[in-house]
């Protein structure tokens, strides 16, 4: 993906719809069938050699390179952004024949206070800055404060906002409250795209995951995202399968194309391949581009680089040989 393409990552905004509970109220999700489908998905399709290398380069282009630690500093963000602009070593890029069009990541994701540092470090690269907001990760601050946090991040230069929903509204089935809050968050984003984090590990059932996905999309979410990375259970393939099928159903109702972002616990190149297989089989090649697919990760990038080096040399290096994000 060239730099000019990187500046056009964002398709038209999701216009949203009125709340339609009848679209999801009677939904049933077969847990055992979902788990069986997820378990066999990666065993029925194998990707080897140059095809695997190409898929891993594609995964890099879809990564939201993330740091969300309590001890984050401007300096750490600068290092993260340097890795975002040059995610692969020069010798690997040249050997893969990508020197004329080297890959960059999909976005850099940081806390609101560090958005300005990331924007400065990424100036001229075309890589957008994403910011978590709305009382991340719990989302339990008063709504006016959550909306103010969104506006602050946007004012600092964030082009994407990863909001967290109020999980109690899902657990109590208060769909009107959830819809109204996400709608207000979407309005607060202005031109920035909104990714709605469902914190699926807290939602208890796949039916709740499906319903929350539908309500968030009705309220105008441009992406739906699995997890904050702070729950006990983060991104899993059965949960992701449920979300992408909700996304597909919403598209059939409305014609809208909504993005998907798994995050939390995705650390290896093997994880990247598993989720690319999911997107390809369930939604098709259009959802293999960063406009509609992101992976929230940091350490995954080093393992992808390690696997690409193995493809080139036939030898595995120690993970410590590769710069971490």
Which are the catalytic amino acids? 162, 225, 261
Q: Are 220 and 15 in contact (CB under 8 A)?
A: yes
Strands 107-110 and 160-164: unpaired
């Amino acid at each position: 993906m060239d730099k000019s393409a990187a500046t056009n990552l964002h398709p038209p905004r999701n216009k949203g719809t009125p709340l339609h509970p009848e679209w999801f109220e009677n939904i049933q999700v077969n847990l055992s069938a979902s788990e069986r489908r997820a378990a066999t998905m990666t065993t029925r399709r194998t990707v080897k050699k140059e095809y695997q290398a190409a898929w891993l380069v594609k995964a890099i282009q879809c990564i939201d390179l993330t740091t969300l630690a309590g001890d984050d500093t401007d300096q750490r963000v600068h290092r993260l952004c340097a890795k975002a602009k040059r995610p692969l070593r020069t010798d690997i890029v040249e050997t893969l024949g990508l020197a004329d069009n080297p890959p960059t990541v999909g976005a850099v994701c940081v806390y609101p206070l560090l958005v300005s540092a990331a924007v400065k470090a990424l100036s001229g690269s075309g890589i957008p800055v994403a910011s978590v907001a709305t009382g991340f990760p719990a989302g339990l601050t008063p709504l006016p404060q959550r909306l103010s946090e969104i506006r602050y991040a946007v004012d600092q230069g964030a082009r994407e906002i990863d909001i967290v929903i109020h999980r109690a509204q899902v657990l109590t089935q208060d769909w009107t409250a959830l819809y109204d809050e996400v709608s207000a968050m979407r309005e607060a984003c202005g031109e920035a795209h909104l990714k709605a984090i469902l914190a699926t590990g807290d939602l208890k059932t796949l039916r709740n995951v499906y319903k929350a996905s539908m309500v968030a999309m009705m309220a105008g979410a441009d992406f739906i995202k699995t997890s904050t990375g702070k729950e006990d259970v983060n991104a899993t393939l059965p949960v992701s399968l449920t979300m992408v099928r909700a996304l597909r159903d919403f598209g059939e109702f409305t014609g809208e194309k909504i993005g998907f972002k798994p995050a939390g616990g995705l650390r290896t190149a093997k994880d990247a391949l598993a989720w690319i297989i999911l997107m390809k089989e369930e939604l098709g090649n259009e959802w293999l581009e960063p406009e509609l697919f992101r992976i929230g990760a940091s350490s995954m990038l080093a393992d992808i680089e390690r696997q690409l080096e193995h493809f080139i040399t036939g030898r595995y290096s120690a993970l410590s040989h590769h710069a971490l994000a």
